Amino acid sequence: ARHQCLYLVRLHAHEFLAQNGDKQWLLGLDYAPPKLKSLVEVNNIPAHRPWLITKQHIENLCRGNDAWSLSEVMQALLIITHFHSLCSFINGCGIALEIDQGGATNRPTSSSGDESE
């Protein structure tokens, strides 16, 4: 949702529920387990400036009551990075939800305001 890629969010939400995922988790971060909530800050960084992730971010995830193992952190970062790049690809291709999914059949590729194109 950070990239406003509703197509991908809905696709993954549908698949999550198809695999018997907890419906509550889709209601927002308040409903997610604390361990997953700890990824919020690290998720926001690659969305816009991935070069700002530091060793300290990784160490913070590996400490505390809901600590991640280093391999879990690396896997989570790989998934986050893949998701962000896929959102950019989908938005760049103009892919959007179909009308029956609450979207439109295409996205405008230009903001010229010329309706005749």
Name the residues annotated as catalytic. 5
Owner of token pair 């409903």: 31
Helices (H), 19-69: 34-37, 40-48, 55-61
Other CB atoms within 10 Å distance of the CB of residue 73:
20
SS3 39: coil
Sign of the torsion angle spanned by Cα atoms 68, 69, 71, 74? positive
User: For residues 13 and 83, is the Cβ–Cβ distance under 8 A?
Assistant: no
DSSP state of 62: T
